[in-house]
Structure 1
């Protein structure tokens, strides 16, 4: 068996999101853009569909999110770097909406395998990835996983690589920053999803080894609406700082924690994105820290002022040009761009779009691919693309590196504004 994904989209066209009826595979409609220059239609020997097209499947949770449109623009930007074709072939996208349901992720990849995709970009939700990757391994399909849970990359995999960042690799940096701030008392809230549990199980031993005092440990589902019990226990424990790891950045928990009076630093495993600010509000979003390779910004000027990396600025400028001035609202959009880059670079290095073993070997040789997350390097043998991360803080209407925020007097202002002793 070979290849993946639902709704065929020609590259450089508007992404069409297919609706999925509950418990049934979606049957996406294909939207065709204006014709591009004809490519060599001679199919390679291992081109299952025999049409000389590099077919890439994407299964993701799209319903109710702006991700569909945002990831389409991100894919276009990535393909532009390769002049619109890979190994002389057009690229076609097959999109499947998992509807926030891991069982739909399995249905999706089975559907997409039947569509003859040459590579797959997996969901940003780690639970979807865990459920789906065994089918892609069995089908021997080059698979780029966009979840951040440390556990989605496993020793039994051959065809699967991470296409985003491993949040568990950031755990050490969070603990070091807590120590740098001179804090001892930490409260933890973790979700009940696979990614959150995995991250909690990684960071707790590091906190213990550093001699930090975990004054409260609370848990709950990201689908809950009432976190009053957890919030009261954490506030009463009077922590110096709170570490949050929960699907969707635990945005509803964070909002309620602020409502219950906690005004100190919150460390969040995920990017604190524009979409999260829309839910929590500006005031409640202040002093939220993430050790991540990128985040969202309200404007290009804000990104420059915040010290966004050269790679991120290049992406945002191209994104604004294609979108008519808008910028991504989801950090997931950066992940989709980088995963697409990896799929294109691996095929280019391999000299073929249709041989999964060749794509795997080529991917393992990538060591200086510049993506939104920084330098993508798979030569360390861990099938992880990123190994360096920067603490970023959201404050006063935007994000900036913690180092820049601190240098600009941010910590002194924090103490003054919150009335906290440290």
Structure 2
């Protein structure tokens, strides 16, 4: 169903652009999807030129490949990413596409498997011959598939947050998401700000969780924070009681967790049941899905450094731009997303669109070469690429979950609510 008029009106005040959004939420994701661009094949306008002198190939299509985890432990994030990609494609196509080309989405289910991601990457560049690729929210998949994509000289933007794959020498690979290693530094600063002297660490062994925990532990050592214990778990584990007993045995002043998928809410719930009432720092902002799994009372006092937060409903959002983006999603799917991947995908597509405008071309190398000139306002702050890191976000914000889907600025919380926290929990730190 076309919602062009409805969404265009809601977006006009903030974005001065109209949106065409169609489709409905699938009960079960397909293994692969091709989203037709709806243009007349072979129709070109050779007389139309961009300012940079490149032709706008209107009438042709820009094939955007994607590999996303649509099934498995973290499938919610993958499905919501695909939903947002489809919305953004309609949005961009209704506003001229990429230099006149309509975008066609070619998406495959990577199943949370690095091996599957490599197969899909090869298929996208060799068989589908896509013009660019958006990678998974699962960093392990990007780390596995990134070389194949980079070696093919196909422009790619990843949705994962691990520091590892962006540390590779892959000049065609960028992102508009955060770097967890940078956030780990911010989190240690939050621990110092709170006056804590020690911490216990719990982490998964997927790429993002493991590499972030390693970075966090190293930074703790550099800033004089003692790590009392560090425990890990394997994919598929559901009982963390043995690790939790070791984590809290030394009565840590705080706990830091780097987990993913449904494991976040499950660990928080079991940690509280194990008797720990203190502040729990996380590599990710508390999502509504995770808060629901953990239980609202258990999720309280979970803190994180992140560019943006997740809202329980649109009315709870006080950021006008984010509110409009959430409205876009709800207009199409009847609900707002439960994770923050909508922000990642929105920022990613807006960065890619801006790069094609600067390049005046849809060639992968031209887009890559234009990226250092990209400077836009993302949903979490400025996105700039002029420092050679291929990273967009260089700043973040510090939050603590205070219940009922609400997060509060961490420094403000320390000033206004820390004494109440100590009274409620019986903890002096």
Q: TM-score range by the shorter chain?
A: 0.7 to 0.9
Structure 1 residue 323 displacement after superposition: 3.7
State yes or no: 1:213 paired with 2:213.
no
Select the residue among 262, 269, 291 that pairs with 1:255: 269
Q: Deviations over 1:264-306 (max 9, x none)?
A: 11111012111111211111111111111122211122222xx
After superposing the two structures, state which structure 1 stretch, 68-77 or 130-139, moved more: 68-77
Q: Secondary structure at the match of 2:252?
A: coil
Structure 1 residue 148 displacement after superposition: 0.5
Q: Name the CA distance, whole Å, in 1 between partners of 2:116 and 2:45.
A: 32
Q: Name the CA distance, whole Å, in 1 between partners of 2:378 and 2:276.
A: 36
State yes or no: 1:76 paired with 2:78.
no
Asked whether the equivalents of residues 103 and 131 of structure 1 are also in contact (C-alpha less than 8 Å), the reply is yes
Q: Secondary structure at the match of 2:249?
A: helix
Q: Secondary structure at the match of 2:373?
A: coil
Structure 1 residue 70 displacement after superposition: 5.4
Taking structure 1 as reference, are residues 195 and 29 closer, same or farther at Cα in structure 2, changes over 3 Å only?
closer
Q: Name the CA distance, whole Å, in 1 between partners of 2:387 and 2:45.
A: 34
Structure 1 residue 317 displacement after superposition: 3.5
State yes or no: 1:56 paired with 2:64.
yes
Q: Which runs of 5+ in 2 are unaligned?
A: 1-19, 47-53
Structure 1 residue 13 displacement after superposition: 3.9
Q: Name the CA distance, whole Å, in 1 between partners of 2:22 and 2:327.
A: 19
Q: Deviations over 1:60-90 (max 9, x none)?
A: 1012634435542455247636715221121
Residue 365 (structure 1) aligns with: 373
State yes or no: 1:119 paired with 2:132.
yes
Paired residues in the alignment total 394
Structure 1 residue 169 displacement after superposition: 0.7
Residue 395 (structure 1) aligns with: 402
Q: Deviations over 1:28-70 (max 9, x none)?
A: 354658x57x6983299x99x9971111111110126344355
Structure 1 residue 146 displacement after superposition: 1.1
Normalised by the size of structure 2, how large is the TM-score? 0.84
Q: Which runs of 5+ in 1 are unaligned?
A: 1-10, 21-27
Q: Name the CA distance, whole Å, in 2 between partners of 1:417 and 1:245.
A: 26
State yes or no: 1:152 paired with 2:165.
yes
Q: Name the CA distance, whole Å, in 1 between partners of 2:29 and 2:315.
A: 35
Q: CA RMSD in A?
A: 2.7
Residue 337 (structure 1) aligns with: 346
Asked whether the equivalents of residues 110 and 120 of structure 2 are also in contact (C-alpha less than 8 Å), the reply is yes
Select the residue among 131, 145, 150 that pairs with 1:137: 150
Asked whether the equivalents of residues 162 and 179 of structure 2 are also in contact (C-alpha less than 8 Å), the reply is yes
Select the residue among 382, 389, 393 that pairs with 1:375: 382
Taking structure 1 as reference, are residues 206 and 288 closer, same or farther at Cα in structure 2, changes over 3 Å only?
same
Taking structure 1 as reference, are residues 338 and 411 closer, same or farther at Cα in structure 2, changes over 3 Å only?
same
Asked whether the equivalents of residues 296 and 329 of structure 1 are also in contact (C-alpha less than 8 Å), the reply is yes
Asked whether the equivalents of residues 126 and 147 of structure 1 are also in contact (C-alpha less than 8 Å), the reply is yes
Asked whether the equivalents of residues 184 and 240 of structure 1 are also in contact (C-alpha less than 8 Å), the reply is yes
Asked whether the equivalents of residues 79 and 341 of structure 1 are also in contact (C-alpha less than 8 Å), the reply is no
